[in-house]
Amino acid sequence: MEAHLLPILSLGFFLGLKHAADADHVVAVTTFVSNQRSVFRSCWIGVFWGLGHTLSLATAGILVIGLKINISQAWESRLEFLVALMLVVLGARVLLNPGAPPHSHGGSVKPHSHFGWTRFGIRPFIVGIVHGAAGSAALMLLVLSTIRQPLDALAYVAVFGLGSVLGMLLVSLLLSLPVHWANERLAAGYRQVQLAAGLFSCAFGLVLGFQIWATA
């Protein structure tokens, strides 16, 4: 690796970390985490989200660098509006279909949900794809456009994606702690956390959608 690439790749990693903490990303992941009492599963939700997000960014990077295709502002606005709509849908899903309460297995109470890893990971993965496609990480693509060598650009995408996956893993971990605390100590706290997450996601999506529509 050439020495001059190290600062750029380092910047990409930290931008990926920062990008994961964008408000719309946090709101979307919160709707998933609020349905999980397991900190471990909540962390994996963040990983799946980050992987989907990275896939979209990698695709956008290939289009911009490899095929010289520019993503139009009109198309990006449509995708951003789709993100706003998706936040409303995710929030409504939490409000209308909350996670099952803890129940007994052989005399012991074990809070969990009855679905496998495929269903567990596919939803946040798809949401991550939509978020990555919507923003196309404008800041990432701005830096990408200054890298002339395709292999160097792919390295930047990989490092940026690694940063976003790690960042969303940390975000999911931090979000899961109050959910886990409420489930362990407050009888009705878990459902209250779900209601708050669902309502906030709906409100945030509506405000974001209105802002996009007003500026279109």
Whole-number Å distance between alpha carbons of 90 and 85: 9
> Which tokens sit at 26?
């946090």
pLDDT in tens, 77-119: 888 888 999 999 999 988 887 654 444 344 444 444 444 444 5
Please report the pLDDT score of residue 97 as a whole number: 76
- pTM, full prediction: 0.77
The confidence band for 18, taking pLDDT boundaries of 50, 70 and 90, is: confident
- CA torsion through residues 197, 202, 204, 205, sign: positive
Highest mean predicted confidence (pLDDT) among 3-12, 97-106, 159-168? 159-168
Phi, psi of 32 (to 5 degrees): -80, -45
Among candidate residues 71, 51, 35, the one with its CA nearest the CA of residue 145: 71
Whole-number Å distance between alpha carbons of 90 and 198: 7
Whole-number Å distance between alpha carbons of 133 and 109: 41
pLDDT in tens, 125-145: 988 888 887 766 555 666 666
Please report the pLDDT score of residue 98 as a whole number: 62
Residue ranges per structural domain of the chain: 19-94+114-215
CA 214 from centroid of its chain's CA atoms: 25
Among candidate residues 29, 71, 52, 86, the one with its CA nearest the CA of residue 208: 86
Three-state DSSP string of the chain: CCCCHHHHHHHHHHHHHHHHCCHHHHHHHHHHHCCCCCHHHHHHHHHHHHHHHHHHHHHHHHHHHHCCCCCCHHHHHHHHHHHHHHHHHHHHHHHHCCCCCCEEECCEEECCCCCCHHHHHHHHHHHHHHHHHHHCCHHHHHHHCCCCCHHHHHHHHHHHHHHHHHHHHHHHHHHHHHHHHHHHHCCCHHHHHHHHHHHHHHHHHHHHHHHHHHHC
pLDDT in tens, 23-81: 888 888 888 888 777 788 888 888 998 899 888 888 877 777 777 666 667 777 888 88
Choice between 5 and 87, residue whose per-residue pLDDT is larger: 87
Choice between 186 and 95, residue whose per-residue pLDDT is larger: 95
pLDDT in tens, 189-208: 667 778 888 899 999 999 99
